[in-house]
Chain A
Amino acid sequence: MIHIFVNEWRGFIRNRVIRYLSLFFLFSLFSVSWLGIVQNNKQMDAQKHAHEHIRAQWDAMEPSNPHRAAHFGSYAFKPISILNSIDEGINAVTGNVLRLEGHTQNEIVYSEASQSLSMSKFGKVKPSLLFQFLIPLFLIFLSFNTYISERESSRLRLLVIQGATIPRVIFAKVMSIWSIGCVLLLLTTCVQLMFNYQNLDREILSRLFLLISCYGLYYLVLINLTISLSLWFKNATASLSVMTVIWVSWTIFLPKITGNAVEQLIPLPNRIEFQASMTADREKGLDGHNPSDERKKKLEEETLKKYNVEELTDLPINFAGIVMQADEEYGNKVWDKHFGALYQQLGRQKNIIQYGGLINPFSATHSLSMGTAGTDMFHHLEFLRQAERYRRVFIKTLNDEYAFGGAKTGERGWKADTEFFQSVKDFTYQQPKISNLASKYILDFLALLFWFAVSSLSLHISSKKASVL
C-alpha cells in the first residue's frame, strides 16, 4: 500500500499541472492566511486602543452623579479570536461594539460589512473560503479519474498481477489524494503558528486542531464519494459530472434552501415588531398589567415601610437610586423575556440547520469551522450574554452608589468621586472554552461522522465489486 501511495505522490510532484495548481494553493493559502493574520492583528490593536481610550476616559471622570455616569455608559468590544483570520464566520455582519448604558439595551453595531468598501462587503478572502470551496474542487478533480485511468489503461491488471489488490489500490489512492488536502491544511496551521506564536495557548491549539480535523474529515468524505462514484459508474466523465452536481448542491443550493426553509418554519420577529413589543412591555407591564406608575407607587410604599418613615424626604438613602435600579431590573426582565425567546428561536433555527448536516456534510463542516474558530452564532450570543450580564452589574453598581452612597432623596446635585468610578470593574470577555461548547456541535460532528461512514461504506462496497477489466 505504501508503495502505491509513494508512487502516487511521485506522480503528483512530477505532474506539471498538479504541481502548479498545488503551488497556487500553497501561495494562496500562505498569502490569505498571512493577510488574515495582519488584518486580525490590526483590528485587535484598534480595538485595544479604543478600549483603553474609553477606559481612560472613564477613569478620568470628574466627580459626578452616578446616574449621569450610567448615561455616559461604557462600551463592550467583541474581541476578535485569533482564528478569525482563518474563518471570520458571522463576525463580518454582526458588529463588534456594544454600547452599555442605563435604561437601554443597545444593539451591537459597527459591523465590518457596514464599514467596508462594496468590494469586501460580502466577506473577505479567508483560508476558510479556500478550504470550503477551492480545495474540495481540486480534490474532486484529482479523484474522479484516479481509479478509472488505471483500469482503462490496463495498468490495473499489471498492478493486480504484481500482487496489489483492488481495495488496496483504491485505499492508497484515497490516502494519497487526501494527504494533499492535509498538506494544504497543515500549511495553514503552520502559518498560524508562525505568526501567532505569542498568542497561542492550549485553547487556541485545541480549536485549531479541531478545525483542521473537521476539514480533513470532510475532504475524506469528498474523495471517498468521488472515487466511489467512479467505481459505480465505471466512467470518469459520469462520476465527475455527478460529483460536480452534488458539490454545487451542497455548497450553493442546499444551504440556501435550508436557510429559507428554516426561516419559514421558525420565523423571527422583524426588528420593528420586536422593539415595539419590548417598549409596550416596558410601559404596560410584562403581562399587560402593572404599568410603570403602579410599580413605582408600590416600591415607594415598600421602601417607606422598610425604613419606617412617612415621607421620602425622611429616608436615609436616595430613593431615586432605588427607583432607577427597580426600573432597570424590570427592564432586565423584559429583555430576558424577549431576547430569551429570540435566542431560543435562533437556537432552534440553528438546530434544524445542524440536522441538515445529515443531508449536506458541507453544512456540518461549515458550522464546525465557524464554531471551532469561535466566530459562529453561539459565540456571538455568548458575547451578548456576557456583555448584558456586565451591563447589569455596571448599572447596578452606579445605581447602588446613587441610592446608598450618601445622597438623600431629592439631592440631585450629589456627586460620586473619581475613585468610585475607577473602582468600577471593566468588561472583560471570557471566550468560552470549546470543551464547554462541545455539546452545541455534537450534531454537526455526528453528521460529518455519518457522512464519513456512508462514504467509506460506499467505497468499500464498490471496491469489492470492482473488476480489473
Chain B
Amino acid sequence: MAELGSFVLLLALALSGYSFLAGLVALVIKHPGADRLGETARRAGVATFGAVFLGALVLVVSAFRNDFSLAYILHHSNRDLPWPYKFATLWSGQEGSLLFWSLLLSTYGLVLRLRHKTDERLFAHASVIIAVVQVFFFLLLNFAAKPFALMQGQLPADGNGLTPLLQYPEMVIHPPMLYLGYVGFTVPFAFALAALAMKYPGEKWIHITRRWTMVTWGFLTCGVFLGMHWAYNVLGWGGYWGWDPVENASVMPWFTGTAFLHSVMMQEKRGMLKTWNMWLIFSTFMLAIFGTFLTRSGVVNSVHAFAQSSIGDWFVTFLSITLAVCVYFYWKNRAHLRGEHKLESLISRESSFLFNNLLLLLACFTVLWGTLFPVLSEWIQGHKVTVGPPFFNKVSIPVALLLLLLTAVGPLLAWRKTSLESLKRNFLWPSIGALAIGIFLVATPPSWGGPFGLRPWNDVSYFYSLMAIMLSALVAFTVVSEFVRGGRVISGHTGEGLASSIVHLARRNTRRYGGYIVHLGVIIVFIGFTGSAFNREAEKEMGYGDKLDIGAYSIVGRSYTQEEHPNYTADLAILQVFKGGKQIDMLYPESRFYPASGEQQHMPAVRSTAKEDLYLVYEGQNPDTGRPIIKAHLNPLVSWIWTGVLVMVFGTITAMVPNAAPVRASVRASVPADIRVHPAPVGAGD
C-alpha cells in the first residue's frame, strides 16, 4: 500500500508539472500544434485528480486496515478508533492534511478543466496557474511531508490514536469545510491572475468566478463557525473564540474574501476598483496560504497547530514567488486596470463600499498584526509577549461596530449620488426603531438577565453590547424596509399579496436579496456575540446532593459513575437541573481518558435555549479531598450565533440561485383594448 501511495503522489507531481509546463508553452508559442499541446495539458490536469484521489484513498484504507507500518497511521490512529474518525485521520495530521489540501485543489481543478468550453483561452490560463499551485503541494508531499513514510524497526501493536480533542463528530465536517474555503480561493485567484496576464477585456472573469467565490466564501464561513461550535462543545472553557493564532489564520482570508465579494459589485456595475479587486483576491489567496503556513511552521504557539516542522521555509518561498509574480503582472499590465468612471459623491453606494472595504481590511490587518506581534517583539526586543483576547477585543470591537453601521447605511445609498433628503427619509424610521430598542434595554430591570437591564455606564463591555444590539436592530429594520418597499412595488403592479411579492422580488434579484439575508444572519450572530458581556460562572466541589446556584438555575449532584468505551473511559457526573424549584433537565458532563494517547479531556454538557446556555464541565476531582469539581457557565444568547450562521448559509445559497424571469404585470381582460397597458417587466429599483 505504501508503495502504491508514494507512486501515485509522484505521478500526480509529474502530471501537474506537465500540465503546467505544456500549458504554459501552448499559451506562449504561436504554432499550429499549440492547441493540441494545450489540450494534453488540460487532460494531464484532469488526470492529476485521479492520481491524488487514489493517494488519499490509499491513506484512508491504510487507516481502516490499521497499517501501522505507515508512520502517519501509527501516529494518528489506533485499533479501537471509531470508523468516522479513521476516515478523519486523512486530515488529522500534517502530512495527511496536506494530501487532503491537494485533493481538494485537484477537485476544484478538475471542475475548472471540465468546464473549459465556457471560455477556452481564459480557462487555459487559469488551468496553468492552478497547475503550478498543485506542483507546489505535490513537491511538499513528495519531499518534505511524506504521508506514506514507513516506520523503522519493531512495530508497536497499536497506534497512538487520534488526538482526543479531534474525536468529536464535528471534526469530521469542520476541517473539510475550512479547507474547501481555503483551497477554493485558488480558483478566483487563478482567474484574476489569468485575466491580468492576458489583459482580458471586460468583467467576464468576475462573472465566471462569482459563484466560485460565493461557494468558497460559504464554505469558509461554515468552516470558521463549525470550528467555533467545536471549540465551544469540546474545549470546555465555556467560550467559542479564543483569538488563537490558528483561529485568526482562518478568519483573515474571510475578511478579505468578504471585502472582495462587496467590491466586485463596483467593478461589475461601474467599472471601478479594478486594481483594488485584483489585489484583494491576490491577498485572499496569499492569506489562505499564509494561514496554512502559520498552522504548520511553528512560528506561533497554538493549541491547534500541527507539529513544528521545516515546511515553513517551503511556504515562505512559495508565498514570495506568488507575490513576485502578482507584482510583475500587475506592473506590466496596470494600464489595463484603469477605472471607467469617476466617483461623484461621498454619499453614494460606491463610497459605502470603499469604507466597507477599509473596515474589513482593517479588521484583517488588526488580526494579522496581533498574531504576528509576538514574533516581531521577539525579533526587536529579544523576548516574546502574549497578544491575547484583551488586545483583540479592545481593538476589533470598535471596528466591528463601525462595520455594522455601514451595513445599515449601505443599502440605503444609491449608486453615484444620494441626496441627504432621501437618506433622511429612508433612515428615519429604522433609526427610531433602533433607538426605541436601546431605550427599552436600558429601562428594563437587570433582574431579567442579560441583555436586559443594560447599564452602559457601568462597564465598557455593556456599552459595546448596547451599541451592537442597537446597530443590529438598525440593520434589521433597513433590510426589512428594503424588502417591504420592493415587495410593495411588485404588489402594486401584479395585485399579489405582499408576502408573495417579496418572494418574487427576491427571486428576481437573488444576489441582492440573498446578500440582505446574509446581512440578517450577520446581525443575529452579532447579537449572539453581545451575550458574552453577561457571562457568569461558578465552581464548586459537589458531592451527592450538593447544590450549585447560577442565575435562575440550581444544579444538584445526583450521582457519579464510570463508563467503559472501546476507545476511552469516561467519568460522568449526573446532575439535576432545577429552575423555579422544578426539575427541568438532567445533564451529564464527562471527563474522558484515552489510553492510546494517554490524554484526558473534558466533554461539557450544554443545555441550550434562545435566552442562554447552561454549560456544565466536570473538572475532575480535587486531589486533596477527592470530591468532584463542577464548573458551571451561564452564557446568554449563544444559540443566536449558530442560528445566525444558518441564516447566513441560507442567504449565500439564495444569492447563488439564478435570477427568475421578470414578473409581468397582470392585465385585466375587461380593460378596453385601446387603453390596455402593455405588460412590462417589474423589478426592484435601487
Decide whether A and B are members of one complex. Answer: no
Binding site for A on B (CB under 8 A): none
